[in-house]
Structure 1
Amino acid sequence: MTAEPPEDRPAAVGVGQARDIGTSITGSLGPIYVRNYWYATSRRERRGALALDLDHERNLAAVFVPPEGWERARRILAADGMVLLAGELGIGRRTAAWQLLDGIGDDDSRPIQVLRPEPGSDGGRVLDAEDVVERDRLLLDLSDVDDQLFEAVQDELTDFFGVVAASAAVLVVLLPSFVTRPRSEFRARTALLERPDGRQVLYRRLREYGIAIPAGALLPDVANLLTNGSVGDVAELASLIREARSDVPDGTAESWFGVAVKRLSDRDTEISQLVAAHPSAADRALLLSVALLAGADAATVLAAEERLLRKVRHTVGPAPDFERSGLGARLTAIGGRLHVDGRVAFTAAGRAAAVLNHFWTHFPSLRNDFARWVIACGDLGAEDAHRETMVARFVEQSLAVGRPGDVFAAVAVWAGDARVPALLASAALEYGLTSVEYGWAFRRRCYEWATDHTNGRTAAPARLADLLVAACRRVIVQTHPEQAIVRLRHLTRHPEPAVAREATTALVEVVGSDRSRMRYLLTRLTGGRRSDADARRADARLFLTTVVPELLVARGGRSLVAAAWVHERLAQRWGDVFDTVPAWEYVPAVHRWLSVHAAAEPADAEALAAVLIAACDLRFDRLSILHSVSREWARTPLPAAQTRRRETVERLYAAVDAAAVQAADAAIDPSTLVQHVQGGTR
């Protein structure tokens, strides 16, 4: 069950305005309503995205109650930089993991990175070392992996931790609930967590809501829940108490508590009785349609009802409209009402979520039909607020029963249907990506869509590819920038030129002036197979626009260009640039490189020159290019810097001379090289 947002539906706003798309997420803290704002400025993207788990991270401290075993976990993490958390489901292990990592971060820290193992293909690894960035705070979530995948993770965990330690990062591993004793080499780093005091969890949540319950006065009503229920169950009770206060603000704490306890015990029973009292397919279809589209106009709700009846293959038609009860009477019978402005809604707070939860939970054989029905309703309605509410409810129910594939299908269909507003596919993907439990699956699906055209499959349609670009740019980058970079790089090769250009622009924006992101991108720009000229050219162009020399030289005492692997990659990419990119595209980049060379410290300047020389690979054609471009740069009329420019060119010519000597050693005629180079202004 999930908490309702403060109002029945978001306020309707137009394109270019802020829209509250607050949603409820259920985790170890129970249902949490997160208010989030997106800005739609065009068809291509929705600005201002903030991942839900960022808000989740910020708000945990106020309601967190340390479980038993917490102090041991803190000591292990502080001493070793890694801890494995064991314990039963529902005790708040994920919350504890977030809090352990939150206590380590500082103002410059990236958000906590949640990692999931992915079953390797053809014997591949299940943990990706490239997910680790310097000084990261990592949560490896194994909570719902099977025993086979868990064994594979344990095989790689020691090596993976070595990468984490070398990066000065820290790692918390959330073990599967069936594991209390991992392999012997990990037991010294394992902390067993036990359920925190339910009373403390309840009081802490209520205090955050500004509600004081007299200690001991009301606890017997829910003694079993507070003693044996999950932390999420206790958090839901606190949320229901808050709802009761919102319904009757001038009530007492005792009355709010009583209402909440009744709702907690009666909610599912009430909906079960309501459904049982309306066995006809038409009534149940109306019930579900109102739940999905509460707040929409009557025509939209009735159209959804008819589509649902078709999807569930209802063969006995309802009575003709003239013989049926009016819509108002039908709504009253199921606890709804028709407002004077023609909108339809339930009269009881929380009814819409409860109805959807009931049908998705208790009618598993119809889940495929329910999903197809929601997808078919994509073109209904006229207001973005109602469409977005529908999407949020659908995603919530699909993920609650473990069916992210239904959301994938909805995103693909809605993105490919010009009759459906782009908002639906965008909202569905964003809700999925920001799911605490299933965000990893949506990021994986985005990768598959982004790489369709490189794996022999049909490329993602342009509308879907546009959506992927926006998702990487505004959502994935917030918590997994490296994964955003990988997906955008593939999208820069999309066969639709407009998509490729937009993906390139987004990649440049994502990398920006972030040194760690540029370094990561450099590891991904492999140039592809040497026989694949298009791949080499694509990576060469990305290299020119994203790998800037200012980020390679010493900053705060550290230099990237001096690292051997960086030097090697830079030289390879410059070689591809000289071979595959027209001169008018790369000349400005070479000029920029030389300008940084002129201003750099001697060691960095030498390293920059060495990269350019190595890129020439003792080839006359490349050395000729480098010579002519550097000569042109030296002649640029900037009197104040002319002396340094001449010095830079002299150093570069000296490096070319050294390359000529190496060419001689390699049985290449050096006189041709020297003759050509010395024929310049030197």
Structure 2
Amino acid sequence: MTDTFGTHVSGAPTAMHSGSGNLFVTFDPGSLLVDSRGKTPRKVAEDELLRLHQRFVPPEGFGAAREVLETRGTVLLDGVPGGGRDTAARMLLRQLPGSTGPFHELVPDAEKGPYLDPGQIGDGDQLLLNLSTAEEPLWNAVQDELSAFRATLTARRAHLVVVLPHHRVTRTHNAFASFLVEIGRPSGLRVLRRSLGLDGIEHTLTEPLPEPLADYLAKEPPVGEIARLAVLIERARSTDRDGRGFPEWCGEALTAVMVRDRDITRLVAERREGPQRALLLTTAMLHGAHADAVHQGAAAMLRTMGSPADDRPLLERADLVERFQEIDAEAGAGGAVRFTKLGYEPAVRAHFWHHMPELRDPLGSWVADAVTLPRLGSDDRDELVRRFTEQCLRTGHTEALVGLVSRWTSAPRDNDLLRAAAKTLESGLRDEVYGRRFRQKIYDWSREEGLSARLRDVLIGVCSEVMAVRHPDEALVRLHHLARRQRHGSTAAEVLLRLVRSDHRLRRRMLDRLADGLVGHSWPADAELFLGLTEPGALIDPGTRNHGLLAEPGVRSRLVTGWSMVFRVHPHHGWTERVESWLLTACRRPEHREALLDVLLEGSVTRGEILGRLYVIARDWAPRSGDAREKAAALVDTLFQKINIAQGIQETAP
């Protein structure tokens, strides 16, 4: 037997068979997001979570929160902003003993209710609801629904961590007082030492801290800033050519954190010529790229910004070594250009973005073309996109990023441009403040008729490889809209099925959507998706529960509705193979025989010709059933009896 949709190999074109129709060779949109090490965003997210776990320092109250979560299934985390509540929430879920379900985030819609959907709870799921930036009305509405939500949570042995809004005025409802745990801020010194130790910098507990570092930690900066400082200290060590030691590394890192902005302001003020500033900003945007690419990029930036070309004879112009020295940069032995002082590149980018806002639009135009510079490597392009999106997201300029995506996907097909578009959306989706806005934009795009194949491929890639990691339900909805509207090939349908098949809960939700859509039978793709989603083995597999989806009344009714519509609108050659797979499973798994046959019959009971076709399919299939021929023949007899009963020819089976 072959599934309605074929197998898939990530990162390469794949042959995909859609029923009895044509054979399509499809492009894998997820390959647009695979990095130079061969890692997908999903794998990168796993690595980041592991890194976070290795560097995590439990704050005060963490043990109490863990006990509440393990015994009650839900914990409400309170604490001061910047104290690492989101990290603590993720670590609580990661460290759950015996947890079997996937992690995903709940996203309450602030504009409409209900805010908590029990359908988002799967068996053993690890759920995070981060309301740290929510307004008080939303938190109050969530509290009103939390008791009912927890009933499903308990029934499915799932766990929920809620990060509370710190600025709320109304107290937590009395019913949830026993779930509330306030966590403190972890020791900044311990956070720093742990990170440095894992990076191989052993600064013993008996050694006194350098005074500037001690003063910095005494101000209790946010935990995220301390983690960034640890990265800078390690970078200072890795570039130390003189063996200066830990105090000097700390001093350089603290300078990069605390006073670098003043250095950059002075540097820009002293370099007033257009070519100098163009080279300075280009170096910051292409930091680590080859000198040829930086040179080409600076020339392109001058043109974009409307600066006149240098009309001096070529031999009278300064060479690159001198020009890089003017901006405190140099090209290394391999030609890679970097600033000579730690922390210059982000400070330069921030300076131009914040203090010369009139450059923002031209800079976006420059980025749109700069990703095609011939000397840029794949990592260089990715970093250029990341650095520009970082500036836009910091100041809420999301429309500039949407414009770039539209521009890159409107050009003739070029995988470098499509990758740049995909990486832009990846950054937007991962942003804690504006991620919702990008998910909404992708939803709007997914419902457009006549969407370009290039933009469609980018959306499929980011839905499956980025959005599905933290928001699988929203990824499912968007992929479904894309699959319905895809006129040529079935890439969106294939990717959607791959996502849904990985999780009983998502399969259940998809069956709900398909049954509702098939009633109107206005989307031909829904019938194909239904057939691709009804592998009988998956429907009877209990997973971590004591029964499979087929045993759930709600799922059974959806299957009956789905089969009824498929039988009505689809020619029989499109569903014969799937019916045969149901018959084979019913033959091999007699404990599920009645349920499987009854669903097929209930779906076709209103049409006598379909009942007859089912019998013909079973009769022709039995001789080909291999070692189970005798059981298959008996199954055909049972089916025949059930058909007669359904048609009123026989009242009861003998």
Residue identity opposite 2:92 in structure 1: L
Q: Is the 8 A contact 2:483 2:493 kept in 1?
A: yes
Correspondent of 2:269 among 247, 261, 276: 276
- Per the alignment, residue 531 of structure 2 pairs with 544
- Per the alignment, residue 211 of structure 1 pairs with 201
| Distance in 1 (alpha carbons) for counterparts of 2:117 and 2:53 | 30
Range moving further from structure 2, 145-154 or 405-414: 145-154
- Per the alignment, residue 616 of structure 2 pairs with 628
How many matched pairs?
A: 615
* Alignment partner of 1:413 is 2:411: no
* Alignment partner of 1:125 is 2:118: no
Correspondent of 1:648 among 631, 635, 638: 635
Distance 1:340 1:565, change over 3 A: closer
In the TM superposition, what is the alpha-carbon distance from 1:319 to its structure 2 partner?
5.8
| Distance in 2 (alpha carbons) for counterparts of 1:552 and 1:401 | 48
Deviation sequence 1:529-587 (CA, Å, 0-9, x none):
744x441x321111112221112225474232122111100111111111111111111
Structure 1, unaligned stretches of length 5 or more? 1-14, 18-38, 454-458, 662-670
Q: Is the 8 A contact 1:45 1:467 kept in 2?
A: no
- Per the alignment, residue 259 of structure 2 pairs with 266
Residue identity opposite 2:108 in structure 1: P
* Alignment partner of 1:57 is 2:49: yes
Distance 1:639 1:419, change over 3 A: closer
Percent of paired sites with the same residue: 32
| Distance in 2 (alpha carbons) for counterparts of 1:641 and 1:368 | 69
Q: Is the 8 A contact 2:426 2:462 kept in 1?
A: yes
Q: Secondary structure at the match of 2:484?
A: coil
Range moving further from structure 2, 228-237 or 441-450: 441-450
Q: Secondary structure at the match of 1:528?
A: helix
* Alignment partner of 1:611 is 2:599: yes
Taking the TM superposition and a 5 Å limit, the aligned residue runs for 1:12-411 are: 46=34, 48-51=39-42, 52-104=44-96, 106=98, 108-110=100-102, 112-120=103-111, 123-179=112-168, 182-185=171-174, 186-215=176-205, 217-227=208-218, 228-248=220-240, 250-296=243-289, 300-301=293-294, 304-305=297-298, 308=301, 317=308, 320-322=311-313, 325-326=317-318, 328=320, 329-337=322-330, 344-364=337-357, 366-383=359-376, 384-411=378-405
Residue identity opposite 2:510 in structure 1: L
Residue identity opposite 1:200 in structure 2: R
Residue identity opposite 1:570 in structure 2: L
Q: Is the 8 A contact 1:84 1:191 kept in 2?
A: yes
Deviation sequence 1:492-531 (CA, Å, 0-9, x none):
1224313xx1122223333446544433321221352744
Residue identity opposite 1:415 in structure 2: T
Distance 1:613 1:40, change over 3 A: closer
In the TM superposition, what is the alpha-carbon distance from 1:189 to its structure 2 partner?
2.0
Taking the TM superposition and a 5 Å limit, the aligned residue runs for 1:567-582 are: 567-582=556-571
| Distance in 2 (alpha carbons) for counterparts of 1:61 and 1:542 | 39
| Distance in 2 (alpha carbons) for counterparts of 1:256 and 1:525 | 59
Distance 1:119 1:187, change over 3 A: same
- Per the alignment, residue 559 of structure 1 pairs with 548
Residue identity opposite 1:486 in structure 2: V
Distance 1:486 1:76, change over 3 A: same
Q: So what's the TM-score if we normalise by structure 2?
A: 0.84
Residue identity opposite 1:446 in structure 2: I
Q: Is the 8 A contact 1:518 1:547 kept in 2?
A: no
- Per the alignment, residue 460 of structure 2 pairs with 469
Distance 1:309 1:40, change over 3 A: farther
| Distance in 2 (alpha carbons) for counterparts of 1:630 and 1:651 | 11
Q: Is the 8 A contact 1:115 1:440 kept in 2?
A: no
| Distance in 2 (alpha carbons) for counterparts of 1:127 and 1:367 | 39
| Distance in 2 (alpha carbons) for counterparts of 1:59 and 1:342 | 31
Q: Is the 8 A contact 2:33 2:419 kept in 1?
A: no
Distance 1:405 1:134, change over 3 A: farther
Q: Secondary structure at the match of 1:140?
A: strand
Q: Is the 8 A contact 1:69 1:192 kept in 2?
A: yes
Correspondent of 2:441 among 445, 467, 481: 445
Taking the TM superposition and a 5 Å limit, the aligned residue runs for 1:419-430 are: 421=416, 422-430=418-426
| Distance in 2 (alpha carbons) for counterparts of 1:104 and 1:341 | 47
In the TM superposition, what is the alpha-carbon distance from 1:97 to its structure 2 partner?
0.9
Q: Is the 8 A contact 1:462 1:496 kept in 2?
A: no
Q: Which has the higher contact order (CA 8 A, sep 6+)?
A: 2
Q: Is the 8 A contact 1:86 1:179 kept in 2?
A: no
Residue identity opposite 2:530 in structure 1: F
In the TM superposition, what is the alpha-carbon distance from 1:596 to its structure 2 partner?
0.8
Q: Secondary structure at the match of 1:168?
A: coil
Range moving further from structure 2, 149-158 or 232-241: 149-158
Distance 1:214 1:336, change over 3 A: same
- Per the alignment, residue 3 of structure 2 pairs with none
Q: Is the 8 A contact 1:407 1:428 kept in 2?
A: yes
Structure 2, unaligned stretches of length 5 or more? 1-9, 13-26
Q: Secondary structure at the match of 1:424?
A: helix
Q: So what's the TM-score if we normalise by structure 1?
A: 0.81
| Distance in 1 (alpha carbons) for counterparts of 2:319 and 2:119 | 58
| Distance in 1 (alpha carbons) for counterparts of 2:30 and 2:130 | 36
